[in-house]
């Protein structure tokens, strides 16, 4: 969970790289002081590891992950660890091109009024109206508004939003990035 400064060497014909040197560039000791912080960091690292291609630079994904780890390492994090995880997860989905649409049906494009509850299917990419077969998970208008704020980087989530939001991110990654559930 620390940021390392590493030197890697690629040898001709070898599939593995050699690691001649590594140093800790950014230690994150406080992150290790709480199970909730550690769990949120571990989930985010798993998401990034599974959703990004090997040996491909992803600077926006890196930035999102670094920001999450730095926030979790603060003496007093700016929000609950799971709320920070959700924000990072929603930003990660956007960075990878899989943002969850929360304003209109992903099938027909019909807008959903902000105050109205709506069915959401992260595997299909967001809201799905009843006409287009929307069933299952329903988000209230206020919960959708809080998730929209979280997708802008603002951890304005209520405790009751957190589990559903983590599931939405997981489902989105499973559906769109061929991520396997561990």
pLDDT in tens, the chain (182 residues): 999 999 999 888 888 889 999 999 999 999 989 999 999 999 999 999 888 888 888 999 999 999 999 999 999 999 999 999 999 999 999 999 999 999 999 999 999 999 999 999 988 999 999 899 888 789 999 999 999 999 999 988 999 999 999 999 998 888 877 655 55
Q: Does residue 66 contact residue 41 with C-beta atoms inside 8 Å?
A: no
Instruction: Specify the pLDDT at position 68.
Output: 97
Distance CA 101, CA 14 (A): 43
Give the CATH superfamily of 29-176: Recombination protein O, C-terminal domain (1.20.1440.120)
The dihedrals phi and psi of 170, each to the nearest 5 degrees, come to -55, -45
Instruction: Specify the pLDDT at position 104.
Output: 95
- The string over 75-109, giving b where at least 16 C-beta atoms fall within 10 Å of a residue's C-beta and e elsewhere, is eebebbbbbbbbbbbbbbbbbbebbbbbeebbbee
Side-chain-side CA neighbours of residue 176 (13 Å): 23
Say if strands 17-26 and 118-121 run parallel, antiparallel, or are unpaired.
unpaired
Tokens matching residue 102: 């929360």
Would you list the DSSP string of 82-96? HHHHHHHHHHHHHHT
**Cα 87–chain centre separation:** 6
Distance CA 32, CA 30 (A): 5
Instruction: Specify the pLDDT at position 180.
Output: 53
pTM: 0.89
Residue among 61, 83, 60, 57 nearest 72 (CA): 83
């Amino acid at each position: 969970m620390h940021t390392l400064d590493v030197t890697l060497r690629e040898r001709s014909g070898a599939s593995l790289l050699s690691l001649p040197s590594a140093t800790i560039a950014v230690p994150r000791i406080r992150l290790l002081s709480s199970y909730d912080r550690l769990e949120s960091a571990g989930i985010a690292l798993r998401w990034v590891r599974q959703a990004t291609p090997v040996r491909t630079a992803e600077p926006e994904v890196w930035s999102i992950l670094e920001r999450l780890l730095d926030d979790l390492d603060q003496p007093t994090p700016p929000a609950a660890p799971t709320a920070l995880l959700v924000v990072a997860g929603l930003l990660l989905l956007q960075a990878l091109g899989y943002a969850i649409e929360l304003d209109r049906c992903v099938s027909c494009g019909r807008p959903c009024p902000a105050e109205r509850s709506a069915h959401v299917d992260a595997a299909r990419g967001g809201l799905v109206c009843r006409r287009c077969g929307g069933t299952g998970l329903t988000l209230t208008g206020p919960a959708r508004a809080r998730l929209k704020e979280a997708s802008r980087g603002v951890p304005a989530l209520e405790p009751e939003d957190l589990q559903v939001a983590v599931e939405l991110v997981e489902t989105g990654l499973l559906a769109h990035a061929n991520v396997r559930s561990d």
